[in-house]
Amino acid sequence: MDLLIKRDELVRSLGRVQGIVERRTTTPLLSSVLLQARAEGLRLVATDKAMTFIGDVAATVRTPGEIAIDAVNLYQTARVLADDVVSITLLENQRVEVRCGTAVFKLNGYPAAEFPVTPPLDQSKSLTVAMGELRRIVDQTLFAVAPDENRYGLNGAHVEDVATEAGPMLRMVSTDGNRLCWSQAPYQGELGIHRKMLLPRKGLDQVRKLLDGGDDVPVEIAFGERAALVSFPGVMVHMRLLEADFPDYRQVLPASYKRRALVDRDLLDAALRRVSIFAADSSHSMRFAFGEDSLVLTARKLDAGDSREEVAVDLVGEPITMGFNARFVADVVGAVSGRRLALELGDVLSPCIVRAPEDDRCLFVVMPVRLD
């Protein structure tokens, strides 16, 4: 193997695999990136067995070949190179020479034949969605995926298709038991529905980091019985679906509301960040006092002090005081686009639905907390 590649392209490509390779593992190959020098250019493959990244990058390949190298070591080496063009050459005994200007590095590698093989995806149907739209629905749902891997059914994002007046929509739904989010985007093609369509949190997080192209770039998503493949120019991510059932989220959506408060999104976001400094108990509780024309936010930190701020609102219905986890509300407010938010409220312990009046493509639910 012998090739020339631009330093910035090498660094960018290796940076993409850092969140996928295993840093602490007894299997060295899972800490490695597979370099495949082909006539078309350089292909990088990284896997943790549950997820596989395949990336293609332009390179001048003088001699084809392949080798697996520790991904962190190669990335750190590439980052410190000074010149624009990097030479990568496979030597004897699975050694790789990285040369750039006057700097020469020799790294130990592993036989490519020992690198884990990506399982084939039994895909019968696929859909296409614009990159900007996919980026939006991931941003509006990923934060609510339960981080605890033992919370089966909640530790991934559910995917389904929804028929609307505007046409078919790809809907992504997530919940951690304290909040629920769904966001949808138009798509073309077919979503092959299976019994379990639960995307793992890590896989979705890595896909989001890769969605850095133009908004109109087409992204193809194909589902097999137990895996999904997300691909767009130069990148493919293969991930294993979670073996768990997502709860029937529609059962927790209130059918009606008794109160509706309209508030400026930016003003509420800024007030939450300031008042939440003193929302430091285990549930980060904050008091929300909804009045006819104002929302008063208060928080208290034992032995430290308290904070209070007032935000203008338009309330339809009777005034009410409720408690919410300040972080949960702030996450939702930060994920919504639009100038105003609508907060639909029931009783003191009823779920709060948050909508953007100008955008019906997303919905958020936040559960209240008890106030002492």
pLDDT tens-digit series, residues 22-39:
877 778 889 999 999 999
Confidence of residue 223 (pLDDT cuts 50, 70, 90): confident
Is 86 inside any structural domain? yes
Pick the residue with more confidence: 306 or 57? 57
pLDDT digits (tens, 9 = 90+) for 80-134: 999 899 999 999 999 999 999 999 999 999 999 999 887 776 666 889 999 999 9
Confidence of residue 298 (pLDDT cuts 50, 70, 90): very high
Handedness of CA 77, 78, 81, 85 (dihedral sign): positive
Is 119 inside any structural domain? no
Pick the residue with more confidence: 63 or 279? 63
Give residue 6's pLDDT: 96
Check whether residue 73 and residue 130 sit in a common domain: no
Is 371 inside any structural domain? no
Which of 221, 250, 279 is the endpoint of a domain? 250
Check whether residue 228 and residue 267 sit in a common domain: no
CB neighbours of residue 84 within 10 Å = 10
Residue type, 152: Y
Check whether residue 359 and residue 278 sit in a common domain: yes
Check whether residue 102 and residue 144 sit in a common domain: no
Section 243-265 average pLDDT: 91
Which of 250, 268, 297 is the endpoint of a domain? 250
Check whether residue 165 and residue 240 sit in a common domain: yes
Give residue 135's pLDDT: 96
Is 158 inside any structural domain? yes
Check whether residue 48 and residue 105 sit in a common domain: yes
Give residue 304's pLDDT: 79
Is 120 inside any structural domain? no
Q: What is the CA radius of gyration of the chain?
A: 25
Section 286-302 average pLDDT: 93
Check whether residue 216 and residue 228 sit in a common domain: yes
Confidence of residue 371 (pLDDT cuts 50, 70, 90): confident
Check whether residue 259 and residue 246 sit in a common domain: no
CB proximity list for 44: less than 8 A, separation 6 or greater: 13, 14, 16, 17, 33, 34, 35, 36, 53, 54, 55, 56, 57
Surface-to-core class of residue 167, CB atoms within 10 Å of its CB (0-12 exposed, 13-18 middle, 19+ buried) = exposed
Domain count of the fold of the chain: 3
Check whether residue 232 and residue 301 sit in a common domain: no
Containing 131, the helix (H) or strand (E) segment is helix 131-139
Section 142-167 average pLDDT: 88
What's the CATH number where 162 sits? Answer: 3.10.150.10
Check whether residue 310 and residue 349 sit in a common domain: yes
Check whether residue 236 and residue 273 sit in a common domain: no
pLDDT digits (tens, 9 = 90+) for 164-205: 888 899 999 999 999 999 999 999 998 876 666 899 999 999
Which residue has tokens 């951690």? Answer: 176
What is the pTM assigned to this prediction? 0.89
Section 221-244 average pLDDT: 90
Share of the chain above pLDDT 90, in %: 72
Asked if the model's pLDDT at residue 305 lies above 80, the reply is yes
Section 141-153 average pLDDT: 86
Is 372 inside any structural domain? no
Asked if the model's pLDDT at residue 229 lies above 80, the reply is yes
Is 28 inside any structural domain? yes
Is 44 inside any structural domain? yes
Check whether residue 129 and residue 108 sit in a common domain: no
Backbone angles phi, psi at 295, to 5 degrees: -120, 120
Which domain covers residue 24, as residue numbers? 2-114
pLDDT digits (tens, 9 = 90+) for 316-358: 999 999 999 999 999 999 999 889 999 999 999 999 999 999 8
Which of 114, 144, 171 is the endpoint of a domain? 114
